[in-house]
Amino acid sequence: METTLLSSIVIVIGLLSSHVSADWEEYAEEIRRLSENNTSAQSALRANFLRSSKAVGMKNFPCSVSVSSGRIPTSVHELRPSDIKVIGALGDSLTAGNGIDASYIWQVLKQYRGLSWSIGGDKHLEEVTTLPNMLKKYNPNLAGYSIGTGSVKKTEISRLNVAVPGSEAINMVTQARMMIDRMKADKKVDFNNDWKMVTLFVGSNDLCDWVKHQDKFKPENYIANIKSALDLLQKEMPRTFVNLMQIADVLELAENQRISCKVLRLYLCPSAIFSKKALVPVMAKYRQLLRELVASGVYDVKDDFTVVLQPMYEETKIPKKKNSDENDRSYFAPDCFHFSGKGHAAAAKALWNNLFEPVGKKTNSFDPSKDIVLECPSGENPYFYTAKNSQPKQLKSAAAAAPAPSDENDGSRHPVEDTKSKETAPSALPVAFAVVGGVLIVLCIVAAVVMVMRRRRTPESEQTWLFSTSTAQA
């Protein structure tokens, strides 16, 4: 035991002195080194990485699948699950599906795209819990979801899952371009008429690499890159609902006592190891700028496009082992960073719930260790919530019809009045009508009197001439 621990410490010291990079290629190279070499220390590490957590299905989907509009909506604010015909995703390794079904450390480099929480479509919901598999309950002909394992270059596998491991916000424009081009070329997709749902989740790598390149990964650059990608989607993609995922807490991922987990985290997230305190305000700023961008309404100017910020990851904490302060690693792949099948299943449920929670009232955390009860569309609330349809219906007319606040509610703005005199005082409108009517009657009487008097003063010959002239003209 002591020999194994000492060997692990030696590895950590060696990494600290020569490798402090979170670059994906260096991480992948270290995975291969741990897998191929057969030193006693690496054998101990590999033993610690043995896994058994696989994809998790949902035996009983609680929502009614008959909630349908019976027509194709023209507004993004009237979308139901059955209206989504195409699904896509942009992001990094957490969307590409790295390590979801891995049993050993070397399998973390494998991209299990068909099991990815937001875009995977392997098998059925009873076996694999993902957002597409839930949507397939309403529309079995859903297009775009990824299947199987493989890189983004394998289009028959990745399809509209264009996420690439190691990606940062700056890569999102390229991914958006790739997804749009693939969508247009897909014979199963009616690009102009099909309703589409796209999930964008990126930022963990930006934060994790911030300690190395603080200017490159400052919050202003992050949000500028996100905006560029969203602007492209808005410009070129009709009938699209975008889920913009809030940043996850990368510091939470760093909380694990196992040395075997910390070894690889030196590559994946050095900021969480070496700059924990300094990273806190940076991460907060990332989140704030995402909120401000969406709240600005810049993506609510078209009736067939919107972006909704889904905050489910913001305050989510990693479950602990029973009677322990150590993270429950069953929710993670063998590298203690990427999610396992259990982790992806919980994330899929949490995203589904965010979709059916009004903007301003969405939950910003979920507990993967508990049974997440699904929100369901209903006759009263059948739509995916947007900034616009989250507002009370007929808000302006209701406000206009509402009585003024009572003195009890706001005495400073509404001074006490003589309520008794208000009840007995005549209405101003009927009084106005009475005055106007009286004036009109008087005018009519005066006009009649004037006509009679003029007639009496007119000579008989003139009356005869007037009568004869009018008769001749007729």
Residues annotated as catalytic (active site), given as ranges:
93, 206, 338
Q: Any bridge partners for residue 91, and if so which?
A: 201
Cα 118-309-314 angle, rounded to 5 deg: 80
The 10 Å Cβ neighbour count of residue 435 is 10
Question: Which residue from 155, 242, 161 is spatially nearest to 196, judged by alpha carbons?
Answer: 242
Q: How far apart are CA 393 and CA 387, in angstroms?
A: 12
Taking a C-beta distance cutoff of 8 angstroms, is the pair 96, 161 a contact? yes
Q: Which H/E stretch holds residue 244?
A: strand 240-245
Question: Which residue from 113, 128, 155, 106 is spatially nearest to 59, judged by alpha carbons?
Answer: 128
Alpha-helix residue ranges (DSSP H) falling in 54-200: 93-96, 131-135, 155-158, 172-185
Q: How far apart are CA 215 and CA 213, in angstroms?
A: 6
Q: How far apart are CA 258 and CA 46, in angstroms?
A: 13
Q: What is the three-class DSSP state of 215?
A: coil
In this structure, the dihedral spanned by the alpha carbons of residues 267, 273, 277 and 283, taken in order and rounded to 10 degrees, is: 30
Give the tokens for residue 426.
């005549």
Please list, residue by residue across 4-33, b when 16 or more beta carbons sit within 10 angstroms of its beta carbon and e when fewer do: beebbeebeeebeeebebbebebbbebbee
| Residue entry with tokens 């990273």 | 279
Cα 352 from chain centre: 10
Strands 84-91 and 240-245: unpaired
Taking a C-beta distance cutoff of 8 angstroms, is the pair 102, 206 a contact? no
What does the DSSP assignment read for 320-388?
A: BPTTSSSB-GGGB-TTSSSB-HHHHHHHHHHHHHHHTS-TTS------TTS-PPPP---SSS-SPP-TT
Question: Which residue from 125, 146, 141, 144 is spatially nearest to 62, judged by alpha carbons?
Answer: 125
Please list, residue by residue across 47-81, b when 16 or more beta carbons sit within 10 angstroms of its beta carbon and e when fewer do: ebbebebebbebeeeebeeebeeeeebeebbbbbb
